[in-house]
Amino acid sequence: MKADEFRKYGHELVDWIAEYLENAGQYPVLSRAKPGEVRARLPEHPPGGPEPFDAVMRDLNEIVVPGLTHWQSPNFFAFFPSNNSYPSILGDLLSAGLGVNGMLWATSPAATEVETHVMDWLIEMMGLPAAFRSTSPGGGVIQDTASSASLVALIAARERATGGHSNTAGVGGGRLVAYTSTQAHSSIEKDARVAGIGSDNLRAVEVDEAFAMRPERLAELIAGDKAAGRVPFFVCATVGTTSADGVDPVAEIGKICREHGIWLHVDAAMAGTAALCPEFRWVTDGLEYADSYVFNPHKWMMTNFDCSAFFVRDRASLISALSIVPEYLRNTASEAGTVIDYRDWQIPLGRRFRALKLWFVIRAYGVSGLQDIVRRHVALAREFASWVEADPDFEVANRVPLSLVCFRHKGGDAVNQAVLDGANASGRMYLTHTRIDDRLTLRLSIGNQRTQREHVEAAWATVREMAAKAAYSE
Ligand code: PLP
């Protein structure tokens, strides 16, 4: 492709994206593609020679779009949001266009310094502890996902607990024990496996009726493990659990961690964005005890996947766990110790200039623009919950601290399954489920930037329509 063609098709593609996003609400939200259907429409063999870009665009429209689930639809209420936004898309396009690899400061100083600066901005915007600032012994870094961020936290904690020994000699012995709640995200267990801790050595601490970790149970488990000669080294608290938005008591957990010298990691992947608003800043309560913290701008902060903001209190523990310096990476700036080399803060060596999209988003929306979106979603969730509560056939099943409403029809699992299936098959909305008290429970997660009151009203009407149909067919 020549530069002129790139300009032409680039403009066309930007137009296409704007058109798609403006009309995202008109597609059936959940793709209706059957397994294998997309592949069956793709040519079996790669093209022998160059194809015109028009042909690629045709296949985009005819093959790819029907195989999409429309995460940017205002009627997307499933799982958690995964927003993009125009400034973020432009930032990502620019990152691709610049094509720099910011693995070391020296390989593109702007990639590192813009990232460091934007991470410090987040601290200011969200009232995070000053200990996470780049000017302190801590610091922030963009990871691809919360799963990776929690993994590097676990590895740094492991290294601290073993005096750096496990990196060379292996974790061995199964003596290291980690803790999280029964409601924690599955990534924590995956990370425990990847880091060689093993699922068996990750304790799932019971929760209370609000799905929050019970600190007294944590203390008991730690005491039991210590008495048995094991080494408790890592606790992951969650603020905003995936299933039902439970909020662990981070300060109480933090005090226990301090007492035993245990690394406290806080996973606020979805809920963390709420800290933009002073009235929701309780999501950061207790962070003064945290050794590390992660939240995902790629969920609720209008920054397209992937962009996970990870902060540590003591960057030296992270770097000592992850830094290996082969000869070919040696350079004067790194050796002088005056620069940040983010490759030492993550698993991969290479890294994209992800900070651009976050920088663009923060500048285009401003703090107030981002706050408005969070406030609107929380208000809509509360309103939806009030409609559910007012209906004698339904009940709310969580406390709705932010923008996730867990609710169910009182008629039992079969009715709720019918509502879920019917609503999703209708194409009008996409809803997912969880199990609470061993009962099938519906989750309405409100977080797409285009979601307005009318979309939430329509979702509630669809849910009621499907429930009425289910009752009628019984
Ligand atoms: N932690 C929590 C609480 C989540 O809700 C999620 C959501 O998927 C994750 C972690 C995983 O996020 P990621 O896809 O960034 O790894």
Interval 288-305 mean pLDDT? 98
Closest ligand 1 atom to Cα of 184: 3
Check pocket membership of 185 for ligand 1, CB cut-off 6 A: yes
For 50-81, how does the pLDDT look when each residue is reduced to its tens digit (9 = 90+)? Answer: 999 999 999 999 999 999 999 999 999 999 99
pLDDT at 474 over 80: no
pLDDT at 174 over 80: no
CB 223 within 8 A of CB 179: no
Q: What percent of the chain has pLDDT over 70?
A: 98
Check pocket membership of 462 for ligand 1, CB cut-off 6 A: no
pLDDT at 173 over 70: no
pLDDT band for position 460 (cuts 50, 70, 90):
very high
Q: Measure the CA–CA gap between 400 and 280, rounded to whole angstroms.
A: 13
Backbone φ and ψ of 104, nearest 5°: -120, 155
Q: What percent of the chain has pLDDT over 90?
A: 91
Q: What is the pLDDT of residue 430?
A: 97
Beta strands in 154-262 (DSSP E): 176-181, 202-205, 231-238
For 259-291, how does the pLDDT look when each residue is reduced to its tens digit (9 = 90+)? Answer: 999 999 999 999 999 999 999 999 999 999 999
Tokens for 275, please give them.
């800290």
Check pocket membership of 242 for ligand 1, CB cut-off 6 A: yes
| Cα–ligand 1 centroid distance for 329 (angstroms) | 32
pLDDT at 34 over 80: yes
Domains, the chain, with CATH or none: 3-68 (1.20.1340.10), 100-352 (3.40.640.10), 366-473 (3.90.1150.10)
Answering whether pTM is above 0.75, one says: yes
Q: What is the pLDDT of residue 291?
A: 98
Check pocket membership of 80 for ligand 1, CB cut-off 6 A: yes
pLDDT at 164 over 80: no
Q: Measure the CA–CA gap between 36 and 154, rounded to whole angstroms.
A: 38
Sign of the Cα torsion 11, 16, 17, 19 reads: positive
Check pocket membership of 72 for ligand 1, CB cut-off 6 A: no
Burial class, 474, CB count within 10 angstroms (exposed 0-12 / middle 13-18 / buried 19+) = exposed
Backbone φ and ψ of 374, nearest 5°: -60, -45
For 411-439, how does the pLDDT look when each residue is reduced to its tens digit (9 = 90+)? Answer: 999 999 999 999 999 999 999 999 999 99
pLDDT band for position 170 (cuts 50, 70, 90):
low
Q: Measure the CA–CA gap between 311 and 195, rounded to whole angstroms.
A: 19
| Cα–ligand 1 centroid distance for 101 (angstroms) | 25
For 79-108, how does the pLDDT look when each residue is reduced to its tens digit (9 = 90+)? Answer: 999 999 999 999 999 999 999 999 999 999
Residue in this structure with the two tokens 């659990």, named with its chain if needed = 241
Q: What is the pLDDT of residue 338?
A: 87
Mean of pLDDT over the chain: 95
pLDDT band for position 330 (cuts 50, 70, 90):
confident
Q: What is the H or E stretch that residue 168 is in?
A: helix 165-169
Check pocket membership of 250 for ligand 1, CB cut-off 6 A: no
Q: Could you give the 3-state DSSP secondary structure of residue 183?
A: coil
Check pocket membership of 273 for ligand 1, CB cut-off 6 A: no
Torsion of Cα atoms, 221 then 236 then 397 then 430, to 10°: -140
End-to-end CA distance of the chain: 60
pLDDT at 157 over 90: yes
Closest ligand 1 atom to Cα of 149: 16
